[in-house]
Amino acid sequence: MRGFRWSLQVPCRSAPGLEQIRIEFDYPTSWTGIDASICTRIELGWNECAALNLGGDQLQILHGYVDPLLSLQVWILDSDGNAAAPLVALQDVPLTPT
């Protein structure tokens, strides 16, 4: 993965302690058209996914929720976003300052 950026947006009113984020994934051109999805996950569960098989731009924008004291996991799932059988973990991103 070439990289990604995330930014906190607003506190989550329905789940105290979580904050909504915007995540921008900039992935390699060679990934375009792969029959899979890129997804994020936190300890409490999965956030939304984006299909990699749409072609075009290599920048995907996802929204999700995080506990800013923990980490955000980045995963590749099948094209249906089947969270019961994730394919590969890409990265575990700590959200706390180092």
Sheet containing 71-78: which strands, arranged edge to edge?
Answer: 45-51, 36-42, 71-78, 88-94
CATH number at residue 75: 2.60.40
Residues in the chain: 98
- The upper half-sphere exposure of residue 66, i.e. CA atoms within 13 Å in the direction of its Cβ, equals 23
Q: How many domains does the chain have?
A: 1
Quote the CA–CA distance of 81 and 71 in Å, as a whole number: 21
Identify whether 81 is part of a domain.
yes
Tokens of 91: 């990265």
Identify whether 98 is part of a domain.
no
Identify whether 35 is part of a domain.
yes
Identify whether 48 is part of a domain.
yes
**pLDDT, tens digit (0-9, with 9 covering 90-100), for 55-82:** 556 677 788 888 877 788 888 888 888 8
pTM over 0.75: no
**pLDDT, tens digit (0-9, with 9 covering 90-100), for 4-61:** 444 445 455 666 678 888 888 777 777 777 888 888 888 888 888 888 776 556 677 7
The burial of 36, by beta-carbon neighbours within 10 Å (0-12 exposed, 13-18 middle, 19 or more buried), is given as buried
Domain, as residue range, for 16: 3-92
Identify whether 66 is part of a domain.
yes
Identify whether 97 is part of a domain.
no
